[in-house]
């Protein structure tokens, strides 16, 4: 049966509306699920702000539990750990590697829970236009803006992984590499006492950051 001009217009309008709706949904999914480097960093930044706003209304253990899934989604902890340890990683037994992964994850989450624990009106601005590196990584710059002092810059070195864009390094003040700082500390410990010494050091740091709270 022929379709009237009105019917054709309705079909075309419905088709365009469907395309627009799908595009908007995809954009929201990218922003919420980290489908692009800036979206992943924005999602993580929102989690940090949530922890800050919770502040003293939550115990350290509660903030730790709240931030744990956000850290797992946003950071490639395995790459960060292996890069920080360096060549000695390949010489460790699977049990030693597993113990280090566990200790390093707890330390990383505890670090964020301890440092993002109060709120005084701060905002976090995420630059939506990453800077490309020659190896395909992307640098996403953020600014933590307080109400009455200078902003703090954190830049995330983002890498495409099978589960989305994840940070493989964080640059304080946009330049000071967290991985490079850890590499110096970790290798000194490994030289003195191997994997067990590094695991113990990370466990001690978690105890200090948490005030011995269970995590």
CATH code of the domain containing 43 = 3.10.450.710
Same domain membership, residue 119 and residue 73: yes
Can you tell me the distance from the alpha carbon of 40 to that of 89, in angstroms, rounded to the nearest whole number? 28
Query: Are 118 and 90 within one domain?
Result: yes
Domain carrying residue 192: 35-210
Same domain, 158 and 98: yes
Instruction: Report pLDDT for 35.
Output: 76
Residues 85 and 162 in one domain: yes
Give 62 or 15, the one with higher predicted confidence. 62
In a domain, 198, yes or no: yes
Phi, psi of 190 (to 5 degrees): -65, -35
What local confidence, expressed as pLDDT, does residue 126 receive? 98
Confidence of residue 52 (pLDDT cuts 50, 70, 90): very high
Q: Same domain, yes or no, for 5 and 89?
A: no
215 part of a folded domain: no
- Degrees (nearest 5) of the Cα angle 114, 78, 213? 25
Q: Are residue 29 and residue 40 in the same domain, yes or no?
A: no
Lowest mean pLDDT across 27-36, 93-102, 143-152, 206-215: 27-36
**Whole-structure pTM value:** 0.83
Distance (Å) of CA 112 to CA 47, 64, 109, 116: 10, 8, 5, 6
Domain total of the chain:
2
| pLDDT range class, residue 7, cuts 50, 70, 90 | very low
């Amino acid at each position: 049966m022929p379709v009237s001009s009105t019917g054709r217009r309705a079909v075309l309008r419905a088709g365009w509306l469907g395309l627009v709706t799908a595009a908007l949904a995809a954009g929201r999914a990218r922003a919420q699920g980290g489908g692009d480097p800036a979206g992943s960093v924005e999602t993580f930044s929102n989690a940090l702000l949530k922890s800050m706003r919770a502040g003293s209304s939550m115990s350290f253990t509660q903030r730790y539990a709240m931030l744990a899934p956000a850290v797992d989604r946003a950071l490639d902890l395995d790459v960060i750990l292996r890069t920080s340890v360096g060549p000695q990683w390949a010489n460790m037994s699977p049990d030693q590697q597993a113990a280090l992964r566990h200790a390093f994850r707890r330390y990383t989450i505890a670090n964020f829970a301890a440092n993002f624990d109060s709120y005084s009106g701060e905002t976090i601005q995420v630059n939506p236009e990453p800077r490309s590196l020659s190896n395909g990584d992307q640098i996403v710059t953020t600014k933590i803006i307080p109400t009455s002092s200078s902003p703090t810059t954190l830049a995330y070195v983002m890498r495409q992984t099978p589960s989305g864009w994840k940070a493989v390094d964080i640059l304080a003040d946009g330049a000071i590499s967290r991985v490079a700082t850890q590499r110096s500390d970790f290798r000194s410990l490994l030289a003195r006492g191997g994997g067990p010494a590094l695991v113990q050091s990370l466990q001690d740091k978690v105890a200090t950051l948490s005030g011995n709270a269970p995590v």
